Chain A
Amino acid sequence: MPDLATLGQEKSNLIKALQEQQREEGYISDQAIKNISREFDMAPVEVEGVVSFYTQFKRIKPGKYKIQVCDGTACHIKGSKLVLNWAQDHLGIAEGETDEEGLFSLDAVACLGCCSLAPVISINGKVYGDLTRKKLLKILKDYRAREEDE
């Protein structure tokens, strides 16, 4: 757990504290907001205000596999909208959601910065490029199969 008491002595550490908290738990829980607001001597609503301002912070528990569909310019013109649709259809969840088993969560992100491989997604940081529908579904099915094996 991040050392909130030390971080809280300096208000400019708020974003850092939230980042460490999220690294730990995967998201910012209600309890985390309470703890942080206590240590930073701020109202919970002020902390919530900072959390909601930045796209990095999640208030919903993410899945075991975090899928990020890149919607940067290069990916967009190469069909990232389709990629997102395919993933949504296959997983049965909308962008920003986590599936019921807590296995996959899906987000559209601004740019993963590997434009030459467009369209791309990343799953827990690993990048998959030059996607077609077939390729995407195979990747997702492989993850699920691996999960079932374990």
Chain B
Amino acid sequence: MINRIKIGMASCGVAAGANEVKDKIAEVAPEEEIVEVGCIGHCYAEPIVEIETDEGSIFFQDVEPDEDFINRMLELEDFSRFTPNPEREKWEKKFVTELSGKIDPVSLEEYRDRGGYQGLEKALEMAPEEVVEEVKTSYLRGRGGGGFPTGMKWSFLAAKEEEDKVIICNADEGDPGAFMDRTVMESIPHQMLEGMLIGAHATGANRLFIYCRAEYPLAVRNLNTAISQIEEAGLNRIGGKDLKITVKEGAGAFVCGEETALIHSLEGKRGTPRYRPPYPTDKGYKGRPSMINNVETFTNVPLIIRLGGEEYARVGTENSTGTKLFALAGDLEYSGLVEVPMGVSIGDVIYGIGGAEEGSIKAVQIGGPSGGCIPEEYFDTPIDYDSLNELGAIMGSGGLIAISKGRCMVETARYFLDFTAKESCGKCTFCRIGTKRMLETLERVTGGEGTVEDVELLSELGPKIINGSLCGLGQTAPNPVLTTLKYFKNEYLDHVEDKHCPALECDALVEVEIDNEVCIECGQCIKNCPVDVISDDFVIDNEGCTRCNSCIEVCPVDAISRVRKGGKVNVAN
């Protein structure tokens, strides 16, 4: 018997067509109860439907909004069944996101049935300083990337004697390739809010803000619904006062992830950072002492209070306790959101959980545009704050992108620099102009006009930008370049000395060629070429070719490929 049907309706599911599936199920089987749940972390298999029966749950993947498909599914036929990659179970630990994808995100009742708000209740029975102490004992470190001990931050705000104190949740997840915070807010908004309320009790804050990316409409909606439920249930009554919780939507500026820039943005101004001190805990939002923690950090807090700091600290490693969420993407079989205990190795995540083909990955990019590329030889490095810092990368907020051997590392570095150069707020000269110069230099290299001096210039500029910038954006912007220079210098040298892109990715250094021995002269390439540069006897005029890859995509016999510019001559050598 079917008890109820759950559909994963976080952004990935919706993008893959979960809405259409939901509507179709409602049409085919109007009698069934359909529950919209959050993310279970297996984006590659979306849309995912879970059918709860008396004998347990059955999962279906890649569900199609098709009557026949839905009927077979409701008959519980054995097809399109979803079974998680067994390797993944070996490494993953659902700890913070245990409820994600299991409960209706905007049902206070369901959250409470699963132990929700017990942490808050327990915290309210404790003295504020005991709560701070518990967080210190857990040794939770900021999940936004910096890794600053959370308990310490809380104690700074708690020590302030001002009457008005502010807690801000940083949900401005601007890193391209990162979607951990979005998933948490969409799937378990109550758990994050519970963490914030515990923080308010511990520090005496009386005003709570969530600064959320405007690009996350579903997260904003779920948070606002959860907040009104909290207000209705009176859960925001702390220290005899009803605390106000407000979601503020950002307007798209990566630098607003930096604390002082975020505060300026909250105040309605341009989001430029300022010199610290004074630190936000001394002078923050509208001059009031303010404390900023990230989404994932707050979401950990209810567990710490419920389990006790000591028990919590058993998970992970000594200096990096707990788990970390990663948004896993790139050249992998199984992309998605994963939660692993700190200390698991990079290789276990990429190969074990991600299912990448053994030996196919040459680097991982960790920590987004502020992070770095870590090469294959370090894949046994444990994922914890300190080990990653040693390699020149950072934990960052949790984007983890696998880069296969077919990708160009210079182009990867150029991509990140392009991002940071655009996002630099312009306040510090070294960041504003330095990143621009670095980008131009990288463009020369990928454009086939670079010299060995250019490569040296990059190594020289990097540390100067780091030292000459006020905030985290400039201080980390050169990381992608410096780490690729450190670990993949040969690729840079190939570009400048031999005018060769080993991955055949940089357009200026490749040509497109038809292998006339393989070609069956079907004419598909000629038909699809947007610039008409393929002749009737199947030769490509590379002068006019825009390297759009259309012909390669449509060729039925794979006769067309990218080759090294002037490749034939060199290969013969």
Contacts and interface: CB of A to CB of B under 8 A. Distances in A.
Interface of A: 11-16, 18-19, 49-50, 53-57, 71-74, 76-77, 79, 82, 85-86, 89-90, 109-118, 120, 127, 129, 132-134
A115 B177 contact: yes
Nearest to A130: B16
A107 to B, nearest CB: 11
Nearest to B404: A77
A112 B215 contact: yes
B291 interface: no
A50 B215 CA distance: 18
Given A56-B252, A73-B368, A116-B43, 19 more contacts: A16-B268, A19-B251, A55-B253, A56-B251, A73-B177, A73-B329, A73-B399, A73-B415, A82-B548, A82-B549, A110-B176, A110-B419, A111-B177, A112-B215, A113-B12, A113-B216, A116-B46, A117-B15, A134-B528
Given A71-B176, A114-B11, A77 B266 contact: no
A53 B177 contact: no
Given A89-B530, A110-B254, A53 B271 contact: yes
B513 interface: no
B151 interface: no
B182 interface: yes
A19 B249 contact: yes
Contacts of A120: 15
B336 interface: yes
Contacts of A114: 11-12, 15-16, 43, 179
Nearest to A109: B215
Given A18-B251, A74-B177, A133 B553 contact: yes
Given A77-B330, A113-B215, A113-B216, A11 B12 contact: no
A12 B266 contact: yes
A136 to B, nearest CB: 10
Closest 4 CB pairs of A and B: A73-B177, A116-B43, A54-B251, A14-B268
10 contacts: A55-B253, A56-B214, A74-B335, A77-B401, A79-B549, A82-B549, A110-B254, A117-B12, A127-B14, A134-B553
A54 B534 CA distance: 43
B554 A134 contact: yes
A108 B336 CA distance: 23
B253 to A, nearest CB: 5
Contact of B327 (A14, A53, A76, A115): A115
B44 A116 contact: yes
A45 to B, nearest CB: 12
Contacts of A12: 266-268, 286
Interface in B158-181: 174-179
Contacts of A112: 15, 215
Contacts of A90: 530
Contacts of A134: 528, 553-554
Contacts of B271: 53-54
Contacts of B412: 77
B252 A116 contact: no
A97 to B, nearest CB: 17
B268 A113 contact: no
B464 interface: no
Interface of B: 11-12, 14-16, 43-44, 46, 174-179, 182, 214-216, 248-254, 265-272, 286, 327, 329-331, 335-336, 365, 368, 399, 401, 403, 407, 412, 415, 419, 425, 528, 530, 546, 548-550, 553-554
Given A72-B176, A111-B176, A77 B252 contact: no
A113 B11 contact: yes
B461 to A, nearest CB: 23
A56 B256 CA distance: 13
B416 to A, nearest CB: 8
A77 B407 contact: yes
A20 to B, nearest CB: 11
A48 B268 CA distance: 13
Task: Specify which of B329, B330, B425, B546 lies most central, judged by the most chain A CB atoms within 10 Å of its CB.
Answer: B329
Contacts of B415: 73, 76
B252 A15 contact: no
A66 B403 CA distance: 31
B110 to A, nearest CB: 25
A12 to B, nearest CB: 4
Contact of A55 (B252, B265, B270, B327): B252
B175 A111 contact: yes
A79 B562 CA distance: 14
B176 A73 contact: yes
Contacts of B254: 110
Contacts of A77: 330-331, 401, 403, 407, 412
A110 B253 CA distance: 10
A57 B425 CA distance: 16
Contacts of A117: 12, 15-16, 43
B512 to A, nearest CB: 13
Contacts of A54: 250-253, 271
B548 A86 contact: yes
Contact of A129 (B15, B216, B270, B365): B15
B343 to A, nearest CB: 25
A116 B44 CA distance: 6
A49 B265 CA distance: 12
A115 B252 contact: no
Nearest to A125: B217
A103 to B, nearest CB: 20
B399 A116 contact: no
Contacts of B251: 15, 18-19, 54-57
Nearest to B368: A73
Contact of A111 (B15, B179, B253): B179
A133 B549 contact: yes
Nearest to A14: B268
A73 B549 contact: no
A40 to B, nearest CB: 9
